[in-house]
Amino acid sequence: MNTLESENSSSPGDRSRALRVLVAKVGLDGHDRGVKVVARVLRDAGIEVIYTGLFQTPETVAAAAVDEDVDVVGLSMLSGAHMTLAPLVVRALRERDAEIPVVVGGIVPPGDVAELRNEGIAEVLGPGAGANEVVAAVVRAATSSSNV
């Protein structure tokens, strides 16, 4: 068993299942190649991935996250709407009494990161984030939340 699999199966609360991550494209952004690569990277790391597809609303993402009992929500944001849509996903989750951490990846200017964190985003990944960085961000978000 590699280190990541070991972390996934024995992290806080003696996990009896792999991490579950829902990845989504919120809004009108129709570029999905990156989110599909991220989904594969996470899957190859032993993380269970649910991909909701394109053109989701914050409410549909939150509902799917709760229904699927995920540990983390990952949002791929390339349209420039991250400052509006990502916080709306966090709010939609909280309205469902779900403390699921949200990770945002994509085209996010460095100056927006602090504000996103203030809005409840657990991790932010910019362009060029490597596979290990993506996996580490998801694992950090999952293990630092009260959801696990």
User: For residue 8, is it within any domain?
Assistant: no
User: For residue 119, is it within any domain?
Assistant: yes
For 1-120, strand residue ranges (E) read 20-24, 48-51, 72-77, 102-106
Q: Is the pLDDT confidence value at 146 over 80? A: no
User: For residue 26, is it within any domain?
Assistant: yes
Written as six digits, the tokens of 143 are 């293990």
User: For residue 2, is it within any domain?
Assistant: no
pLDDT category at 145 given cuts 50, 70, 90 is: confident
Instruction: Count the domains in the chain.
Output: 1
> Would you call 73 helix, strand, or coil by DSSP?
strand
At 110-130, the pLDDT tens digits run 999 999 999 999 999 999 999
Domain of residue 58, CATH code = 3.40.50.280
At 36-91, the pLDDT tens digits run 999 999 999 999 999 999 999 999 999 999 999 999 999 999 989 999 999 999 99
Domain that holds residue 86: 19-144
Closest CA to 105 of 88, 121, 84, 89: 121
Instruction: Check residue 122 and report its DSSP letter.
Output: E
User: For residue 78, is it within any domain?
Assistant: yes
User: For residue 13, is it within any domain?
Assistant: no
User: For residue 126, is it within any domain?
Assistant: yes
Amino acid at position 88, single letter: L
The reported pTM is 0.87
